[in-house]
Amino acid sequence: MTLNSNFLLRLSCCLLLLVTACQNKFADQSDNKQLSLEFINKQLDDAVTQIKVLADHVPVDQLPRTFQGDTSVSSNTEWWTSGFYPGSLLYLYEYSGDAQLLQLAKDKLTILEKEKYNKGTHDLGFMLYCSFGNALRITGDTAAYKEILLTGAESLISRYNPTVKAIRSWEGWTYPVIIDNMMNLEFLTQASKLSGDTKYRDIAVTHANTTLKNHYRPDYSSYHVVDYNPEDGSIVAKKTAQGAFDESAWARGQAWGLYGYVMMYRETGDETYLDFGKNIASFILNHPNMPEDLVPYWDFNAPDLPADSPYAANYKTNRDVSTASILAAALIELSIYTEGTESADYLAKAERMLQSLSAGPYKAAIGTNGGFILQHSVGSIPHGGEIDVPLTYADYYYIEALMRYKRLLTGDPLF
């Protein structure tokens, strides 16, 4: 056994003990859970029915993206959201045992596989881990999926610059790194477990540390983009491209960061990430512009926009359901790593989000909405794209949050 393999074995054992202890601790707090198994199963049953409606709208060689103006909008496999639909199918197959869902997922995995060679995007975690990662976890078929995931991980780390100490996000700019990239690090930590090579995990940790240092303001809100000089790692600019203005708190970006740092605590056991995640959660949950139903505005500063803002008249009150879905999944996980009233509060907030998302106006009636489960998400208001529409990743993280909560109720491990 190699040195790296020994290290990974010891790390895996330590993390298993950590997660098991958290699961056991939380299982004892059954009185904290306010949603019933019947409620969760009803939402998942509806999701199974609705995703079959969606399947009828999806071209054979494409993936669903949104439904806009009574028209289904699909994407090719290169689009960053391509992994969410097969991932949703796989979650719902895991829940229901419905073989039709597994076959639908496998059909899309066949056309998605070529993206393992794609070195032109940082989004391979979304594209490959949410899809093939779930397929491997659920089926255990390493022969079918291991090579795809490791080839994809190699493609992802080809975008890493050791001087910047981060993975490049977009082309253009100078060397832009976006907060969304925290969501692609789980792919790398899992690649180290699959391969026995720590290089993937090491890059994930380094990227997370660089983002922690440079993306966050003193109040634990995050910029969307930090642009670096690739020659010396210095910062060129800090921007918020999809938010209301550069110093605003774009809502989905805050959710990406929370989810990412809670996940990094799970994968490393480093308390720094847990503490940081708790501070991000505090910013989000205690923000004065957080609505009562806990479905955030598209930007936490949107309700306060001045009248002369280009987004004030039409967009200041737009909600972003995708943000609430991501937050619900992250807060359920955060609740198992904390204790007492802190843990109960995180879980209660996740429950409130799930209750809101599981009813009107956010949840669509079965057979409507082009087959998407949720309504009223926002892609990018500054870019005029996907405003007040269903989005495939909103559905994915909603299903994930439901599955996580179901595991809490049944006493099964979250991961």
Who's near 27: CB < 8 A, 6+ residues apart?
A: 408, 411
Phi-psi domain of 376 (left: phi exceeds 0; alpha: psi -120 through 50; beta: other):
left
Give the pLDDT score at 345. 98
248: left (phi over 0), alpha (psi -120 to 50) or beta: beta
pLDDT at 411: 95
* H/E segment holding residue 378: strand 377-380
The Cα–Cα gap between 192 and 199 comes to 7
Q: Cβ(347)–Cβ(25) under 8 Å?
A: no
- Global confidence as pTM: 0.94
141 catalytic per annotation: no
* Three-state secondary-structure class, residue 176: strand
Domain boundaries, the chain: 3-410
What is the total residue count of the chain?
Answer: 415
CA-based nearest residue to 14, from 270, 332, 343: 270
The residue from 123, 227, 320, 388 that is catalytic is 123
- Pick the catalytic residue: 31, 56, 180, 275? 180
- Cis peptide bond N-terminal to 86, omega within 30: no
**What would the 3-class secondary structure string for 243-295 be?**
CCCCCCCEHHHHHHHHHHHHHHHHHHCCHHHHHHHHHHHHHHHCCCCCCCCCC
Residue 340, token pair as written in the block: 């007492």
Torsion of CA 240, 243, 247, 251, to 10 degrees: -110
Q: In 3D, which of 214, 324, 331 has the Cα closest to residue 278? A: 331
Q: Is 107 a catalytic residue?
A: no
Beta-carbon count within 10 A of 38 CB = 8
What does the block give as tokens for 224? 């969307």
Name every residue whose Cβ is closer than 8 Å to that of residue 334 and which is 6 or more positions away in sequence: 258, 262, 277, 278, 281, 346
Nearest to 253 by CA among 291, 208, 284: 284
pLDDT tens by residue, the chain, 415 residues: 444 555 555 555 555 555 555 555 544 444 679 999 999 999 999 999 999 999 999 999 999 999 999 999 999 999 999 999 999 999 999 999 999 999 999 999 999 999 999 999 999 999 999 999 999 999 999 999 999 999 999 999 999 999 999 999 999 899 999 999 999 999 999 999 999 999 999 999 999 999 999 999 999 999 999 999 999 999 999 999 999 999 999 999 999 999 999 999 999 999 999 999 999 999 999 999 999 999 999 999 999 999 999 999 999 999 999 999 999 999 999 999 999 999 999 999 999 999 999 999 999 999 999 999 999 999 999 999 999 999 999 999 999 999 999 999 999 999 9
Distance CA(193)–CA(154), nearest Å, equals: 14
The confidence score (pLDDT) of residue 172 equals 86
Write out the CATH class of domain 3-410. mainly alpha
- Whole-angstrom distance, CA of residue 182 vs CA of residue 253: 10
Query: How far is it, in rounded angstroms, from Cα 181 to Cα 208?
Result: 9
Return the residue matching tokens 């009233």. Answer: 341
